[in-house]
Chains A and B, each alone.
Chain A
Amino acid sequence: MSKLLPWREVPSAGWLEEKGNAEEYETGDWRTIKPIWLKEHCIQCLRCFVYCPDSAITAENGRVTGVDYKHCKGCGICAHECPSKPKALEMVAESADEL
């Protein structure tokens, strides 16, 4: 969480003139379970990329590259939607020592 600004420094009326600043709001610590991406099972259909409500599936050049754990909330939609058999996304418990 960034430092809270005093009122005179807050943009007038709260209008935010900076684009794409949602990225600054990290939601990774909301997670109690997390998806593990298994590259060897992935068929690169990109469904997980499309369905992820937090844009937390990372991709480069049209290919999935992994999970952005700073923003992934652990909702499990990616694993649910993954059509690959066996699944390329698997939900596992978040272990306390990882945080």
Chain B
Amino acid sequence: MQERIALTGNEAMALALKQINPDVVAAYPITPATEIVQLFSSYAANGMVKTEFVAVESEHSALSAVLGASAAGARALTATSSQGLAYMFEVLYIAASYRLPLVMPVVNRALSGPINIHGDHSDSMGVRDAGWIQIYAEDTQEAYDNLIQAVRIAEDPAVQLPVMVCIDGFIISHALENLEIMADEKVQEFVGPFTPRRPSLLDLDHPVTVGPLALFDYYMEIKRGQAEAMRKAKPVIKEVGQEYGRWSGRKYSFLEPYQLAEAEIAVVVLSSTAGTTRVVVDELRQQGIRAGLLKPRVYRPFPQQEIKAALGHLKAIAVLDRADSFDGFGGPLYKDIRAALYEVPDRPRIINYIFGLGGRDVGLDDIRSVYDDLAQVAAGEAPEFSIRYLGVREEAL
């Protein structure tokens, strides 16, 4: 039923976009996300999709255009990276607050400066509290699968929130990998026709005011409603992940544990590095070391209960952040995971590494060194520390 092919992460995202066949795509090119919309624009130009493709002059305009299209009752998408996402900053909050079911691939790339084109999470982590759902993919297969599911999650009547589908720049976006794809009709059937949940901006018989002024009287009630939508997204993400499993054979949820149930020490890491870590876990298991891995797939909404249940039994945990908070305390994922474990009696020791900034390679030896540190922390032979910078050059002692 499914075809196994080889595509880069960007090609897989462009293919999913084509199969979703949205009403409107507006985008501005930025490395390493350019290829997604470049490929898609050729599909549009060649009449392979029914999409109205709008070439805009900036990312601020790209998101504004799809925001307007969505408010007018269209299924609308864009894609970006790094500085482009930063340039969208104010519109991101508006899209979430207006409860518009936009979907946006984000090809994770370091923020300037120094200027850098390679993969890290500083862009999407910088907007983790903008009110968007955030899903992180490990490989091209997940990039494809997550993008298709994102449409259903965003458009669910209980959710109506925008979704970012994140992949690691270059490491996944430009790497050719195997993946299984569904037929166009199956994807169309899975995402279903777009059903606007409110009268459209262009419906003259039912005029509507979008984005009215709300001050002391209503601002907080509207934000409270937005927060509720994010909570309601949780069961929807789970259901969509299960239903997608029935369609594709690949089931998804909030977290992907590996060798975790019987583990004493574990690494928590998002995206592509989870794969490299899994290889090290296998090595360590062969040596009789009870090592495990937890890969969060959904970061917003934050799956606090699930994380507590998955990690509570461990002796020591290392959280790997591909973005720094520059606050002297730790990366964003570390602090969230640490907070999630606060209620666990006899909670695990927890340490933090900042890694892979600006695309710095993270090899097997780097991950092995993390598990070595963890074993010492778990045994009480080394102190629990907050931040270590993995793979950064230090002076010889």
**Measured between C-beta atoms, what is the minimum distance from B265 to chain A in Å?**
44
Query: A14 to B212, Cβ gap below 8 A?
Result: yes
- B144-160 interface bits toward A, Cβ cutoff 8 Å, 1 = contact, 0 = none: 00000000000000001
Q: Is B211 an interface residue (CB 8 A)?
A: yes
Write the chain A residue with the least CB distance to B157: A12
Query: A16 to B209, Cβ gap below 8 A?
Result: yes
Write the chain A residue with the least CB distance to B227: A7
Interface residues of B in 167-202 (CB under 8 A from A): 197-199
Q: Which 7 A-B pairs have the closest CB atoms?
A: A7-B221, A16-B209, A13-B99, A7-B224, A19-B207, A14-B222, A10-B221
Assuming A10-B218, A12-B160, is B226 touching A17 (CB within 8 A)? no
Write the chain B residue with the least CB distance to A20: B207
Question: Chain B interface: which size bin?
Answer: 20 to 34
Query: B225 to A17, Cβ gap below 8 A?
Result: no
Query: B217 to A15, Cβ gap below 8 A?
Result: no
> Across the interface, which residues of B come within 8 angstroms of A93, CB to CB?
none
Query: B218 to A15, Cβ gap below 8 A?
Result: no
Bound state CA distance, A14 and B208, in angstroms? 10
> Across the interface, which residues of B come within 8 angstroms of A4, CB to CB?
217-218
Write the chain A residue with the least CB distance to B98: A13
> Across the interface, which residues of A come within 8 angstroms of B4, CB to CB?
none
Query: A17 to B208, Cβ gap below 8 A?
Result: yes
Q: Is A99 an interface residue (CB 8 A)?
A: no
Tell me the count of chain A residues lying within 8 A, CB to CB, of chain B. Answer: 14
Q: Is B214 an interface residue (CB 8 A)?
A: yes
Q: Known pairs A12-B198, A14-B211. 8 more at Cβ < 8 A?
A: A4-B217, A4-B218, A5-B218, A7-B220, A7-B222, A13-B225, A16-B209, A19-B206
Query: B226 to A13, Cβ gap below 8 A?
Result: yes
Assuming A13-B226, A14-B211, A15-B210, is B221 touching A5 (CB within 8 A)? yes
Assuming A12-B160, A14-B214, is B225 touching A7 (CB within 8 A)? yes
Bound state CA distance, A10 and B209, in angstroms? 14
Bound state CA distance, A8 and B221, in angstroms? 8
Q: Is B97 an interface residue (CB 8 A)?
A: yes
Q: Is A62 an interface residue (CB 8 A)?
A: no
- A13-31 interface bits toward B, Cβ cutoff 8 Å, 1 = contact, 0 = none: 1111101010000000000
**Measured between C-beta atoms, what is the minimum distance from B216 to chain A in Å?**
10
**Measured between C-beta atoms, what is the minimum distance from B181 to chain A in Å?**
35
Query: B217 to A13, Cβ gap below 8 A?
Result: no
Bound state CA distance, A16 and B225, in angstroms? 15
Query: A16 to B212, Cβ gap below 8 A?
Result: yes
Bound state CA distance, A82 and B130, in angstroms? 50
**23 sample A-B contacts, Cβ–Cβ < 8 Å, listed by A number:** A4-B217, A5-B218, A5-B221, A7-B220, A7-B221, A7-B225, A10-B218, A10-B222, A10-B225, A12-B225, A13-B97, A13-B98, A13-B225, A14-B214, A14-B222, A15-B99, A15-B198, A15-B209, A16-B212, A17-B199, A17-B206, A17-B208, A19-B206
